[in-house]
Amino acid sequence: MPIDYARRLTSRDRTAESNRHLGFVLAFVAGATNAGAFLAVKQYTSHMTGIVSSMADNLVLGDLGLVLAGLGGLLSFLAGAAASAVMVNYSRRRQLHSEYALPLLLEAGLLLCFGILGARLSAIEGLFIPVTVMLLCFMMGLQNAVISKLSNAEIRTTHLTGVVTDIGIELGKFAYWNRSSPPGQPEVRANRARLRVLVTLVASFFAGGVSGALGFKTVGYSLTIPLALMLVMLAGVPAIDDFIRLARKPRS
């Protein structure tokens, strides 16, 4: 991957194009992680709507253990989003190039931990649920927060409900019959560029899901290693830029 391209994707200086390209890559990573994690722990870890709904169902059914398990996943996702916000704001106040890269590097490290220690971690009970589930929920919260912050919440990568909703809105605009509009009213036009981005996000997530499921079926937990390396290649350049700048900074 060219260094300048990686720098544009994860540096603090953002463009619409870099946001889109980073979103596609992160959607692939999220899809692969989510699908592989389901085969590993029998639970999706990026969809908080489903987790909260299952908590409500299990509360009514009287299964307190599953309610607490859902709560553990929810709190882990929340902690990941909060950690991402802390790192982004810390870097922003110090004008670091790795403003958005640091959370992605942390995600890469956690992916490696999951890949190397996943089988052992799955046997360790954490806050109501296995540590693997908490770790995966934390990673999804971390990633969802960083892409939301850098794109001003225009791009989502860990879940597709909002993305598919936006696709439906644009398709509705595309199908609208403007000839029946009252005189003087502006025509309803679909944003074709946005529609292409949304469809590509869904396709990237799906492709990642297929790759993650096949990868876990073939090599097990080790499937996370290439995903982590992909994140390191993206986020490592701004971090190295900051390291070089700090190393060259004269000491008082």
In angstroms, the first-to-last Cα distance of the chain is: 37
Q: Residue 141: what residue type?
A: G
Alpha helices in the chain (DSSP H): 3-10, 16-41, 48-61, 64-93, 101-121, 131-150, 161-175, 192-219, 224-248
- From residue 29, alpha-carbon distances to 139, 170, 171 in Å are 11, 26, 27
Integer-rounded Cα radius of gyration of the chain: 20
Note every long-range contact of 218-225, with CB atoms under 8 Å and residues 24 or more positions apart, other chains counting: 220/118, 220/119, 221/40, 221/114, 221/115, 221/116, 221/118, 221/119, 222/115, 223/32, 223/36, 223/115, 224/33, 224/36, 224/111, 224/112, 224/114, 224/115, 224/118, 225/111, 225/112, 225/115
Q: Which residue has the higher pLDDT, 55 or 44?
A: 55
Question: Tell me: the pLDDT tens digits for 140-152?
Answer: 999 999 998 888 8
- Residue pair 204/27 in contact by the 8 Å Cβ criterion: yes
Using CA atoms, how far apart are residues 49 and 74, in angstroms rounded to an integer?
Answer: 10
Question: Three-class SS of residue 125?
Answer: strand
pLDDT at 127 exceeding the cut of 70: no
Using CA atoms, how far apart are residues 133 and 128, in angstroms rounded to an integer?
Answer: 10
- Residue pair 140/158 in contact by the 8 Å Cβ criterion: yes
Can you name the residues that pair with 125 across neighbouring β-strands?
A: 130
CATH number of 3-244: 1.20.1250
Question: Tell me: the pLDDT tens digits for 163-217?
Answer: 999 999 999 988 877 776 667 677 778 788 999 999 999 999 999 999 999 998 8
Using CA atoms, how far apart are residues 106 and 125, in angstroms rounded to an integer?
Answer: 23
What pLDDT is recorded for position 94?
Answer: 86
**Could you tell me the residue ranges of all domains in the chain?**
3-244
Question: Tell me: the pLDDT tens digits for 93-102?
Answer: 888 888 899 9
Q: Residue 209: what residue type?
A: G
pLDDT at 126 exceeding the cut of 70: no
Mean local confidence (pLDDT), 60-82: 91
Note every long-range contact of 128-132, with CB atoms under 8 Å and residues 24 or more positions apart, other chains counting: 128/65, 128/68, 128/69, 128/71, 128/72, 129/68, 129/69, 129/72, 129/73, 130/41, 132/37, 132/40, 132/41
| Nearest CA-CA partner of 171 in 143, 191, 185 | 191
DSSP 177: -
What pLDDT is recorded for position 251?
Answer: 63
Residue 148 CA to its chain's centroid (Å)? 9
